Amino acid sequence: MVGVHLSALSTLNYRNLAPGTLNFPAGVTGVYGENGAGKTNLLEAAYLALTGLTDVTRLEQLVQSGEREAYVRADVQQGGSLSIQEVGLGRGRRQLKVDGVRARAGDLPRGSAVWIRPEDSELVFGPPAGRRAYLDALLSRLSARYGQQLARYERTVSQRNAALKAGEDWAMHVWDDALVKLGTDIMSFRRRALTRLNELSCEANAALGSRKELTLTLTESTTPETYAADLASRRAEELARGSTVTGPHRDDLTLTLGEFPAGEYASRGEGRTVALALRRAELELLAERFGERPVLLIDDFTAELDPGRRAFLLNLAASVPQAIVTGTESVPGAALALHANGGRFTPEDHSTVEGARTKVGA
């Protein structure tokens, strides 16, 4: 299968990264350097420029301290053509452009990158909100309609919460109608998508050497069939609490390993394996949906102390058309090795890729 190709990444005033452009070859680019060298920042910038997405809520954190604005640009080959994706960042502001034309996040190609990070273990051991965010982010990328319905649903929940806080019992039937329609759509979509996500995660977990079977299920606070009745039956409680307690915004993606919930019973290593399985499933689902393999970004493969999981990560990187892998030691089998130091990235072997770094705009 062909893949998305990030041919160049340019940054200006992005966190601690020195301004400039890095050119990336096909295959694996290994980025190694000490802690704090800017390796994660590089992957974060690449993910943002490729997808328009970031999970940082205060965008000014992404802007180099002392500066007011930052900029990232990806030159991306996808679907047989080259496009230039630009992101401008300021205080609370993110402006996207594709080929020079203003765009919204939904206009960017949705299957262009997958990012695997050490903190993915939180998907297993953290609260339900993290797993919901994983599922919602993935489904929004698989279906633009899902993303739109989810945004409408979330707006409706917060408006309904305001009405509940104001004790507007008389207005509830209007909010309930809207909530049931949108929430039912979301639950149905999640149920449909879960079948394939479960298969792929289970396969990946086994490929990682786990002897316990991984099963993904939805723990729902209501069902499409009973949503309206459940809202009505909890009306008094919701008015007292001033918040909506029933609906897909309260659901959990339950991860069961063997017989037990992974979050409560899995060892740290088993949980890490489950998190990797979820990311590998994300990669496969996006590739199936868009017919191209995403660019794979792997942050700190050296954080993986287990040799099996380390090998799995490196094999995964080698199996996709393009991957960027960071670590505190050099990455075996890389087509290009970059040494990270103080936000600068220097090709280890200058003959590998000519001019891997040039000045922005040069």
Ligand X SMILES: Nc1ncnc2c1ncn2[C@@H]1O[C@H](COP(=O)(O)OP(=O)(O)OP(=O)(O)O)[C@@H](O)[C@H]1O
164-196 per-residue burial string, b: 16 or more CB within 10 A, e: under 16: beeeeeeebeebbebbbebbbbbbebbeebbee
For 97, list phi and psi in degrees, rounded to 5: -135, 140
131 in Cβ contact with 120 (< 8 Å): no
Under rule CB under 6 A, residue 351 binds ligand X: no
Annotated binding-site residue? 111: no
Beta bridge partners of 31: 326, 338
Q: In whole angstroms, how close is the CB of 19 to ligand X at the nearest point?
A: 13
Under rule CB under 6 A, residue 40 binds ligand X: yes
Under rule CB under 6 A, residue 233 binds ligand X: no
Of positions 37, 114, 135, 274, contacts ligand X by CB under 6 A: 37
Q: Angle between the 268-290 and 307-319 helix axes, to the nearest 10 degrees? A: 10
* DSSP class of 2: -
Under rule CB under 6 A, residue 209 binds ligand X: no
Under rule CB under 6 A, residue 15 binds ligand X: yes
64-103 per-residue burial string, b: 16 or more CB within 10 A, e: under 16: beeeeebbbbbbbbbeeeeeebbbebbeeeeebebeeeeb
Q: In whole angstroms, how close is the CB of 355 to ligand X at the nearest point?
A: 23
# residues near ligand X by CB under 6 A: 17
Q: Quick one: which segment of 36-44, 99-107, 227-235, 257-265 binds ligand X (CB under 6 A)?
A: 36-44
| Helix, strand, coil fractions of the chain, as percent rounded to 5 | 45, 25, 30
Residues 6+ apart with CB under 8 A from 48: 54, 62, 72, 87
Q: What's the token pair of residue 158?
A: 């917060």
Q: Interface residues for ligand X in 316-345 (CB under 6 A)?
A: 328, 340
- Which of 40/78 has CB closer to ligand X? 40
Of positions 7, 8, 16, 311, contacts ligand X by CB under 6 A: 16
- Which of 33/109 has CB closer to ligand X? 33
Q: Quick one: which segment of 56-64, 222-230, 286-294, 315-323 binds ligand X (CB under 6 A)?
A: 56-64
Of positions 10, 11, 51, 64, contacts ligand X by CB under 6 A: 64
Q: Interface residues for ligand X in 248-307 (CB under 6 A)?
A: 300
The whole-angstrom separation of Cα 56 and Cα 45 is 12
- Which of 115/290 has CB closer to ligand X? 115
Judged by the rule CB under 6 A, the positions of this chain that interact with ligand X are 15-16, 33, 35-41, 61, 63-65, 300, 328, 340
Q: Which residues are annotated as a binding site?
A: 33-40
